[in-house]
Amino acid sequence: MTTESKITPVEHNQKLYIETVGCQMNVLDSELVVGALRQEGYELTSDMLQADTVLFNTCSVREHAEHKIYSQLGRMKFSKRERPDQVIGVIGCMAQKDQDLIFRRAPHVDIIVGTGQLGEIPRMVREARSNREKSMALSLGRKAGSRDSVSASFESYDPLREPEMRPSPYQAYVRIMIGCDKFCTYCVVPSTRGPEQSRAPKDILSETRVLAGQGVKEIILLGQTVNSYKHTEDGRLHRLSDLLHQLHDVDGIDRIKFITSYPKDMGNDLLETIRDLPKAAHYLHVPIQSGCNDVLKMMKRGYTVEQYMEMMGRIREILPDCAVSSDFIVGHPGETEESFEKSMDIIRECRFKNSFIFKYSPRPGTKAFELYEDEIPDKVKKRRNNEMLALQNQISEEDNAGFIGKEVEVLVEGASKTEVKKSGSNSEETDGTIQLMGRTRCDRIVAFDGNPRLKGTLTNISIFDCTPTTLLGSIVTRSYQHGTEGMLPILQ
């Protein structure tokens, strides 16, 4: 056999279109799937109709996210009539949850792949192209076997990385856990992502080193309850605080963030580690979900408002400049006007950097769906959502205003959103500057004009204005200075 004949001939110009909804886990999964398909000779296209393979990476957390995908699939029916050779795949959380229901609702779908089986995609796409047969790769349901067998059916998928799909070339998500064992009553994630499993520190470390070698400056560690991370290696228990210490030593990495934290598992060991490690972001996303104990109990969140406030007290004491953000569900069964007001009070008291606010969406298969009636009218959910958003925006803007006149250090991520919208035309000013964006160590977004060469660097910016979501500033240009007199204080 000649060397040439050993290489599988790659059909060239295979085009892949991928659409991703849902959380950062899904964004990472898409990046990895694209990486694997590139090795099969695929290139990305942004035109769904031009694509040879179309993948939808789906989310089931709210009904709306599923509707979006089913209507996209509806549209695909027509394109498939014209392009019968097209392979259509539904992957991710909705694939694991709806399984063959997807084939029944959208018969033109070829492959269905759950979150724990993403490694199968290249083979399944290849086979679908050659034999046109439908196939599914799914993990076991949470009650379909022993914990070990269910866990084994969900594989953490962390192969080679695909720089093009990252949030920016300087940032990368790194999965440290899969699954969730908290079983909040409203939530599908424990069944779509399977049992909680933590990856080995040595695998996380070697992945981070590779990323650093590719120019990544910031890693964002991912887990549904990321601070519940625990892994026993060589007879020693590693918690998130231990992992942060190990990752801190990786040369080239300037910042380390982790999302999303679970209030009950926020130990002082973790807070003190963040305080002691200069590369650790002073930012925590710790959703409270509701400010009312009766609702929290119905949600089975496992903590009371008082316990959450005790945790906030420890955060403020150990990390005084730390930004905290939260999630809220409004209109959950049992949420009275009084309970809603208690959630509003929590926002006033905690002064979150930002809050992600969601209207309760009953999800078949969850305990809440089984036990509670979805009793709050959509009109009321909408009003509560808007009121809460207005309050949060007011607080975010007030707190952002506190940065005006101060200097912050940002990691420059790239062109700002306004700049990206302008693209197409040549948006560079004559001196080569464009509007850039970056983030402070406490995760605040900063927009400023600067040379694109600054991307990926840590740069000092002086803040002169703000909106609820963004600090506006200009680059600090200092000619030679003696001492530090007259300099603005640097905030983290």
Q: Tell me the binding residues.
A: 23, 59, 93, 180, 184, 187
Comparing CB distances to ligand SAH, the nearer of 25 and 102 is: 25
Q: Which two tokens stand for residue 439?
A: 């983030």
CA dist 366 and 32 (Å) reads 29
Q: Which residues of 274-297 are buried (b: 16+ CB within 10 A; e: fewer)?
A: beeeebbbbbbbbbbbbbbbebbe
CA dist 108 and 268 (Å) reads 52
First to last CA, the chain: 61
> Nearest Cα to 73, choosing from 21, 4, 10, 148?
21
Is residue 343 part of the contact set for ligand SAH (CB under 6 A)? Answer: no
Which of 36, 61, 128, 150 forms a contact with ligand F3S (CB under 6 A)?
Answer: 61
Ranges of H-type helices in 7-138: 24-38, 63-82, 93-98, 101-105, 121-131
Which of 57, 153, 225, 396 forms a contact with ligand SF4 (CB under 6 A)?
Answer: 225
Is residue 187 part of the contact set for ligand SF4 (CB under 6 A)? Answer: yes
Is residue 176 part of the contact set for ligand SF4 (CB under 6 A)? Answer: no
> Which one of 76-84, 109-117, 187-195, 278-286 is the stretch in contact with ligand SF4 (CB under 6 A)?
187-195
Per the CB < 8 A criterion, the answer to whether 286 and 322 are in contact is: no
Is residue 327 part of the contact set for ligand SAH (CB under 6 A)? Answer: yes
Helix (H, G, I), strand (E, B) or coil at 266: coil
Is residue 204 part of the contact set for ligand F3S (CB under 6 A)? Answer: no
> Which one of 126-134, 154-162, 185-193, 475-483 is the stretch in contact with ligand SAH (CB under 6 A)?
185-193
Ranges of H-type helices in 165-304: 189-193, 201-213, 240-248, 268-276, 293-299
Which of 70, 183, 356, 369 forms a contact with ligand SF4 (CB under 6 A)?
Answer: 183
Is residue 192 part of the contact set for ligand F3S (CB under 6 A)? Answer: yes
Per the CB < 8 A criterion, the answer to whether 299 and 184 are in contact is: yes
Residue 240, judged by CB atoms within 10 A of its CB (0-12, 13-18, 19+), counts as buried
CA dist 113 and 413 (Å) reads 33
Number of residues that bind ligand SF4 (CB under 6 A): 10
Comparing CB distances to ligand F3S, the nearer of 55 and 93 is: 93
Q: Shortest approach of ligand SAH to residue 398 CB, angstroms? A: 24
- Mark the binding-site residues for [4Fe-4S] cluster, compressed into ranges: 23, 59, 93, 180, 184, 187
Residue 199 gets which letter from DSSP?
Answer: P
Is residue 189 part of the contact set for ligand SF4 (CB under 6 A)? Answer: yes
Which of 21, 113, 184, 286 forms a contact with ligand SF4 (CB under 6 A)?
Answer: 184
Q: Shortest approach of ligand SAH to residue 361 CB, angstroms? A: 4
Which of 56, 173, 186, 448 forms a contact with ligand SAH (CB under 6 A)?
Answer: 186
Considering only residues 229 through 268, tell me which ones interact with ligand SF4, judged by CB under 6 A: 262
Which of 198, 224, 435, 459 forms a contact with ligand SF4 (CB under 6 A)?
Answer: 224
> Which one of 31-39, 41-49, 186-194, 443-451 is the stretch in contact with ligand SAH (CB under 6 A)?
186-194
The entry of ligand SF4, ligand SAH, ligand F3S, none near residue 199 (CB within 5 to 8 angstroms by kind) is none
> Nearest Cα to 291, choosing from 343, 338, 251, 327?
343
User: Strands 218-222, 255-259: parallel, antiparallel or unpaired by DSSP?
Assistant: parallel
CA dist 472 and 469 (Å) reads 10
Comparing CB distances to ligand F3S, the nearer of 95 and 212 is: 95
> Which one of 37-45, 236-244, 353-361, 381-389 is the stretch in contact with ligand SAH (CB under 6 A)?
353-361
SS (H, E, C) 315-353: HHHHCCCCEEEEEEEECCCCCCHHHHHHHHHHHHHHCCC
Considering only residues 16 through 45, tell me which ones interact with ligand F3S, judged by CB under 6 A: 22-23, 25-26
Is residue 182 part of the contact set for ligand SF4 (CB under 6 A)? Answer: yes
Contact residues toward ligand SAH (CB under 6 A) are 61-62, 186-187, 189, 224-225, 260, 262, 287, 289, 327, 329, 358, 360-361, 363
